[in-house]
Structure 1
């Protein structure tokens, strides 16, 4: 089973490099890495080139389209369409993945299942202070470090940091009372399952697109499986100037429609791209 890690990004080269550094520390490496770039400028291109020079053994492909505003779903569909991997793992380019992250997603992969994890959110001062060595030496995943930064304020965040033995955390994932929703910052599925529902809805911008996609996967028979506590991921803080309350409101109607009608196929989806066999 060939795997690919798809990383979405937009004009955040520092965060992207920190994310890529966390990929180099994976106990099980993905077979390839795809940077799904929603229209970043030259600084991001330069950062990717510099990173590839530093870590030539990590296979990276850069999928880019022009900047037309927030079109994450479009570039993700393009990344899926051009992938030759069987299994796809999705994160955002401001997420640092624990060394067990890829291995855990692959461990529980099944054709009739999508996996969805969660995020450990750093505040802005901590985000700005994170260094490359913090990532490479694993400090950002250390419970003592996270506690010192004030990140572990909630019991659930402590669990997300892997505070208990893996069998206990895996059991908690089965019984924890939250919805099995797709999380684009920590999710995975077989490529064939994604293509079957025509990928993400490209008419949906920020807010709700992940949930609508997960509902359609579930409607197609691919049910969600939580990796809430066993696939740790640290999220770097950033502004969200692209939030549009009116679009978010419209997206809620699409989510309700997909849930009530059993909808599977996205009209504006991956079929608009040339899909590799």
Structure 2
């Protein structure tokens, strides 16, 4: 089974540098790492060049015309030759077993979805490569001391529980399963079957709409909530539009009610016949 990690990014080279720094310590590397780049400038390209010799990178880029995350994701999926695709955002740090856990859980007709521990603004601003290479950023005690653990759930996500206990907690989690675009995986063939991401949708739940279509198509969702979480680097979200979020929620509900499986404006636009 050929695997590819797809990382979305847009003009956040500092965070992307730290993401790559964490990926170098994976217990199992993917065959390829694709950067789905929604129109970043030369600073992002420079970060890729820094890690080109250490990581199996490819760069999928299109011009910046506004929020086009779903479109660049579809272009990246279309150009991939992997069987299993794993998705994270370019502001999320993966601990050593992250990729291995997604590969371990991969099944036909299933997708895996995980969660994040959200680091606060101060920790995110002060984060260094040395924090990552020393692995202290993944230590629950360090996270707590820096004000990033908000309760029992965060403690468990940050590794306070053993892997065997974490896997049991994944199965028992009462949270509704949906596709979390910053931490998810499934086969490329499953994404082709539902026509990938809906490119008419802008920021605000657009990943959940894909998850609803996968579930409608009979693809089973499974959790990695505690056994493969990510650390999320805080950043401003000036691009959030409450009206778009409201519209997206209505579309997600419609997708669920209508049992819609296919995105009319999706992946097929980028796959050659």
- The alignment's TM-score, normalised by the length of structure 1, stands at 0.97
Shift of 1:42: 1.0
Partner of 1:14: 14
Query: Take 2:239 and 2:195, find their aligned partners in 1: how far apart are those partners?
Result: 25
Instruction: Please say which of residues 96-105 and 160-169 is displaced more in the overlay.
Output: 160-169
**Cα shift readout 1:107-158 (whole Å, capped 9, x = no counterpart):** 0101211000000101111001111011112111011211111111211000
Partner of 1:225: 222
Instruction: Please say which of residues 186-195 and 167-176 is displaced more in the overlay.
Output: 167-176
Partner of 2:130: 133
Instruction: Please say which of residues 263-272 and 41-50 is displaced more in the overlay.
Output: 41-50
CA RMSD of aligned residues (A): 1.0
Instruction: Please say which of residues 117-126 and 146-155 is displaced more in the overlay.
Output: 146-155
Partner of 1:249: 246
* 1:166 corresponds to which of 163, 166, 174: 163
Question: Structure 1: which 5+ residue stretches go unaligned?
Answer: none
**Cα shift readout 1:47-74 (whole Å, capped 9, x = no counterpart):** 211222xxx1421000000001111100
> Number of residues paired by the alignment?
273
Query: Take 1:190 and 1:165, find their aligned partners in 2: how far apart are those partners?
Result: 28
Contact 1:82-1:275 at 8 Å conserved across structures: no
Partner of 2:213: 216
Q: Name the CA shift for 1:233/1:273 in 2 (closer, same or farther; >3 Å).
A: same
* 1:204 corresponds to which of 201, 218, 235: 201
- The alignment's TM-score, normalised by the length of structure 2, stands at 0.98
- Are residues 1:66 and 2:56 paired? no
Instruction: Please say which of residues 5-14 and 160-169 is displaced more in the overlay.
Output: 160-169
* 1:107 corresponds to which of 76, 101, 104: 104
Query: Take 2:102 and 2:159, find their aligned partners in 1: how far apart are those partners?
Result: 15
Partner of 1:46: 46
Query: Take 2:23 and 2:70, find their aligned partners in 1: how far apart are those partners?
Result: 23
Instruction: Please say which of residues 5-14 and 138-147 is displaced more in the overlay.
Output: 138-147
Q: Name the CA shift for 1:76/1:275 in 2 (closer, same or farther; >3 Å).
A: farther
Query: Take 2:50 and 2:144, find their aligned partners in 1: how far apart are those partners?
Result: 33
Contact 1:26-1:98 at 8 Å conserved across structures: yes
Partner of 2:231: 234
Partner of 1:4: 4
- Are residues 1:93 and 2:90 paired? yes
Query: Take 1:110 and 1:265, find their aligned partners in 2: how far apart are those partners?
Result: 21
Partner of 1:180: 177
**Cα shift readout 1:156-177 (whole Å, capped 9, x = no counterpart):** 0001112111111111111111
Partner of 2:258: 261
Query: Take 1:86 and 1:128, find their aligned partners in 2: how far apart are those partners?
Result: 36
Deviating above 2 A after TM superposition, structure 1's stretches of 4 or more consecutive aligned residues are: none
